[in-house]
Structure 1
Amino acid sequence: MKNSTLLLCIFLPSCFLIFINLSFAVDGDSLQDTCPASPPEQQTVFINGLPCKNPATVTASDFKSTKLNQPGNIDNFDRSFTAIVSASEFPGLNTLGLAIARTDLDVDGLVMPHSHPRASEILYVSKGVLIAGFIDTQNQLFQRTLREGDVFVFPRGLLHYCLNSGFETATAFSVLNSQNPGLVRIADAMFGSEVIKMLKLRLISISKLEVDRAAENVTLFGFYPVDDDSNLEIGREKKKKRETV
């Protein structure tokens, strides 16, 4: 009986500590030294993450990426470009809980409000002057001006943005604590989804229905809408009758 009680006292706290650890983890811990992601064409199963390469085929090249050494195309409406490199593009990041990004902004360029549902982000300004900020769940704004060498952190899942407030192009690099941080753009979510398109059509149809009802009510006071030929003819007949009387 004493042994059972002792085991229970050890087992329950251990389970609690494991639960707490899992609750606060962003990405799962790696169970081996390295685990570069297997190429997509070699993946035969779907898992929460990416399968590892055969250890015998791992090379130093898996841990190097050149995808962020060139500026992005900022000739667009926002005058900015952000490239996020995750484990899918950079195999060596797999199981490390990391992703990296580069943001280039023209003068007055803007990175529209967005969020990363699975990661916090640390932004490092490499060139130029930026205004960066985020909004918490109480709609409180946290914003600062950043200059070369400054660092700013965006908490996980919160809306954040940045804009170029200097007189030259600006460049910033980011590290995110998830190998697949995700990206939710407010503009795309609101105006680019099928749900919003359906909602817009619904609102338009409701508006048209209200206009039609208003037109029907107008006839109660002896007036007729003239938006089509039939109603125009009815109006003319009414006018003739009033003139003869």
Structure 2
Amino acid sequence: MKPFVPVFFMLFFFVAFTNIQVCLGDCDNLQDTCPAVPPNKQTIFINGLQCKNPVNVTAQDFRTTELSKAGSTDIFGASVKIVSAAEFSGLNTLGLSIGRTDLDGNGLVNFHYHPRATEMIFVTKGGLLAGFVDTKNQYFQKFLKVGDVFVFPKALFHFFLNIGFEEATVFSVYNSQNPGFVSLSSTTFDTTLESLDKIKKRLISLSASEAQHVTGFISPEVESIYS
């Protein structure tokens, strides 16, 4: 005979599990807007940013020019700018950040991930190769052109590689007001021009093979590319 389960226990679990709020990205905001106080003016620290006094909120809080120009490029020939709520106060509590990536011809955004956000990209100039590796060591990649959209799931290593001779530009949206950015350390591999060219050729070779599973492609170090 099956053990008797009191009705109130069944009711308790039903109420508990039907009332749990799941946060996809950051949790929902509790008011219409909450433009942030600049971090250097904060007097208290919370999981997020303080809100301005509502009487001081203006339309300018919801506008930014941070992505109007490309930034300076790194050793890989790439520039990555992420604008979070810390730089764009109107994003505070909305669970969003935005970004811009510019790549020189043959430029590379090295393998990296965002611990708190999924990233969706939109190509506005040039063509590039984009790919990511999941936790089962499966490799997903696609050649993208102007107008294409691609998504990188939360906290998975991914990269961009400009496969053309002209500059490429990509705009990104993240489902967190503070997505974070974790990249492979420059001490993980040799950063000479010869080594960087070898890394790029290996990425293109993997893409040409259209392999969906890469033996030895070990996350998070991505050893098969940098060995």
Shorter-chain TM range is 0.7 to 0.9
**Counterpart Cα distance in 2 of 1:30 and 1:160:** 29
- The residue correspondences of 1:205-220 to structure 2 (distance < 5 A) are none
Q: Within the alignment, does 1:13 sit opposite 2:17 as a pair?
A: no
1:91 — aligned with what? 89
Q: Distance in 2 between matches of 1:178 and 1:14?
A: 29
TM-score (normalizing by structure 2): 0.76
Equivalent residue of 1:47, what SS? coil
**Structure 2 partner of 1:170:** 168
Q: Which has the higher contact order (CA 8 A, sep 6+)?
A: 2
Larger Rg: 1
Aligned in 2, Cα 1:86/1:188: closer, same or farther, shift over 3 Å? farther
* Paired residue type of 1:178: S
Q: Which residue of 2 aligns with 1:134?
A: 132
C-alpha distance in structure 2 between counterparts of 1:139 and 1:94, whole Å:
35
Task: Summarize the alignment of residues 1-245 of structure 1 with structure 2, pairs less than 5 Å apart.
Answer: 11-19=12-20, 21-22=21-22, 24-74=23-73, 76-188=74-186, 190=188
Figure out how many residues of one structure are paired with residues of the other and give that number: 184
| 1:92 to 1:10, Cα distance in 2 relative to 1, 3 A | farther
Where 2:99 maps in the other structure, the secondary structure is strand
Unaligned runs of 5+ in 1: 192-245
Give the 3-state SS of the residue equivalent to 1:16 in structure 2.
helix
Q: Residue type matched to 1:89 in 2?
A: E
Instruction: Write 1 or 2 for the structure with the bigger share of helix.
Output: 1
What CA distance in whole angstroms lies between the structure 1 residues aligned with 2:19 and 2:59? 34
Q: Give the distance between the partners of 1:18 and 1:114, measured in 2 at CA.
A: 35
Q: Compute the RMSD of aligned alpha carbons.
A: 1.9
